[in-house]
Homo-oligomer: A and B are copies of this chain.
Amino acid sequence: MAERVVKQARAERTSAAVLLAAAEVFAEYGFTAATVMKIADRAGVTLGAVYFHYRSKEDLARAIVTRQPDFVVPPDSSKGLRRAIDLTRTWARQLASDPMLRAGGRLVWEQDRFMHDAENSHQQWTRLITTDLQGAQDTGELRPGVDVSAMARLVVNACTGAQMHSYVESRHMDLPSRVEEIWRCLLPGLAATGGTEALEPR
């Protein structure tokens, strides 16, 4: 019994190490140029160990992309408009240093190679932001007539574009200020107050 627990814990550690190594390799080489061998080498395990946990390179990439929201945890206390802002802020601050998020960013372009149509990263993030904006609308935080889903898609599109350009110009170091700027532009047309108060600390 104790032995099985130890084995299981070891398997989970290996699986997590392989996923992290895959993220680092994808972030560095992109999906096409990455190989399972490079991932095994980076994780310090055998090729067999990788294939024990993941069926393929596609499987690894899919695991990283679908779990992106798990890696971005905004402060518990925020909700509505502030939570949508906090989500993008937390993501922007973590991106430069978190291999999982950097891999997610790098894989956006190539995700047609390994994701199914109905589960791409754009839709995932849009669902999260839509939920927060819907909450904001329900409590009267938004201007009347705001199309919540359309606005959520705009936020996700703008953040996607910002991370591309931020990567090219500063390797994601200036992403937090780019995300602040996006909200400063959007809030006057989005918040019921017409101002940018939601960006200020309470």
Contacts and interface: CB of A to CB of B under 8 A. Distances in A.
A192 to B, nearest CB: 12
B182 A157 contact: yes
Contacts of A56: none
A185 B151 contact: yes
Number of this chain's copies in the assembly equals: 2
Interface residues of A, number: 41
Interface string A153-196: 11011111110110111000000001001101111111000000
A69 interface: no
A164 B33 contact: no
A153 to B, nearest CB: 7
A12 interface: no
Given A157-B158, A158-B161, A164-B108, A150 B184 contact: yes
Nearest to A143: B188
Interface of A: 30, 32-33, 106, 108-109, 111-112, 115, 117, 120, 122, 143, 145, 147, 150-151, 153-154, 156-162, 164-165, 167-169, 178, 181-182, 184-190
Given A122-B168, A160-B160, 7 more contacts: A106-B109, A117-B169, A154-B186, A156-B165, A157-B159, A158-B158, A164-B164
